[in-house]
């Protein structure tokens, strides 16, 4: 599409993504006990305004949560996806956080799915993403570029375990960006 340029900023990744939860205790239990992400920092916000906790998700990446005592109720289908790919509406509003995808090893994909199910986590169907018209294949084949399993945390935040099945190349950039304002 476009030639590679030297980036104007030396960004090496995402420091953290901050989400909002309804119950910090349940959030800690899920992310630390079920997913195994160590809790590495806790902050009490001044004046009883809430809490801000950070989890290490590996590779120098962190996932953070705010808990606000007066946070508005969740708004699935507006501020977040209402369902899971392959089993519900994935659409969410412009400016929303749709889902968080965690990279996992390809050879652990099935094992990790079973661990989530054994822990009682609401999981979706396995999606083998390819370049077909439907963008998903029933079975693995050489054109599958990523395997995905979507699931939800206790607040319904959409999460994904994803693993690339091959290296992406310049040939994987084939589509022109849409030139239309969403919601117009």
Domain termination residue (choose one: 40, 71, 102): 71
Q: Which residues is 52 bridged to in the sheet?
A: 43, 66
For residue 50, which of 39, 26, 66 has the smallest C-alpha distance?
66
Do the domain assignments include residue 103? yes
Distances (CA, A) of 184 to 77, 95, 144, 181: 17, 15, 33, 6
Same domain, 117 and 92: yes
Residues 6+ positions from 97 with CB-CB distance below 8 Å: 17, 19, 79, 80
Domain that holds residue 153: 73-168
Burial of 21: CB neighbours in 10 Å, binned 0-12, 13-18, 19+: buried
Do both 22 and 61 map to the same domain? yes
User: Which alpha helices (DSSP H) does the chain contain, by range?
Assistant: 24-28, 109-118
Residue 182 lies in a domain: no
Whether residue 116 is found in the same domain as residue 157: yes
8-state DSSP, 76: B
> Which of these, 96, 88, 84, 92, lies nearest to 149 by C-alpha position?
84
Q: How far is CA 66 from the centre of its chain?
A: 17
The pLDDT value given to residue 182: 58
CATH number at residue 90: 3.30.720.110
User: 10-residue block means of pLDDT along the chain (184 residues)?
Assistant: 72 83 94 95 89 92 92 87 80 82 92 94 91 88 92 92 89 80 60
Predicted local distance difference test score (pLDDT) of residue 165: 92
Q: How many domains does the chain have?
A: 2
Out of 56, 71, 86, a domain closes at: 71
112 and 25 within one domain: no
Q: pLDDT tens digit string along 128-175?
A: 998 888 888 888 899 899 999 999 999 989 999 999 998 888 888 887
Whether 155 is in a domain gets the answer: yes
What span, in angstroms and rounded, lies between the C-alpha atoms of 78 and 20? Answer: 15
Residues 126 and 54 in one domain: no
**Residue 9: what pLDDT?**
67
User: 40 and 58: one domain?
Assistant: yes
Residue 110 domain-assigned? yes
| 162 and 77 in a common domain | yes
Give the domain CATH number at 50: 3.10.180.10
- Strands, E assignment, 90-141: 100-103, 123-129, 136-137
Per-residue model confidence (pLDDT) at position 74: 87
Q: Which residues contact 159 (CB under 8 A, 6 or more apart)?
A: 99, 100, 101, 102, 150, 151, 152, 153
């Amino acid at each position: 599409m476009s030639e590679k340029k030297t980036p104007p900023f030396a960004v090496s990744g995402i420091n953290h993504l901050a989400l909002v939860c309804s119950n910090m205790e349940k959030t800690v239990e899920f992310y630390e006990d079920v997913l195994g992400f160590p809790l590495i920092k806790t902050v009490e916000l001044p004046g009883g305004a809430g809490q801000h906790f950070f989890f290490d998700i590996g590779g120098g990446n962190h996932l953070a949560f705010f808990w606000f005592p007066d946070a508005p109720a969740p708004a699935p289908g507006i501020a977040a996806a209402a369902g899971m790919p392959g089993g519900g509406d994935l659409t969410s509003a412009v400016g929303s956080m749709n889902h968080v995808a965690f990279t996992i090893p390809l050879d652990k994909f099935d094992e990790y799915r079973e661990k989530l199910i054994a822990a009682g986590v609401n999981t979706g169907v396995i999606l083998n993403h390819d370049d077909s018209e439907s963008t998903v294949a029933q079975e693995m084949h050489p054109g599958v570029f990523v395997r995905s399993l979507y699931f939800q945390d206790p607040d319904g935040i959409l999460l994904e375990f994803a693993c690339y099945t091959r290296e992406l190349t310049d040939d994987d950039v084939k589509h022109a960006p849409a030139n239309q304002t969403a919601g117009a």
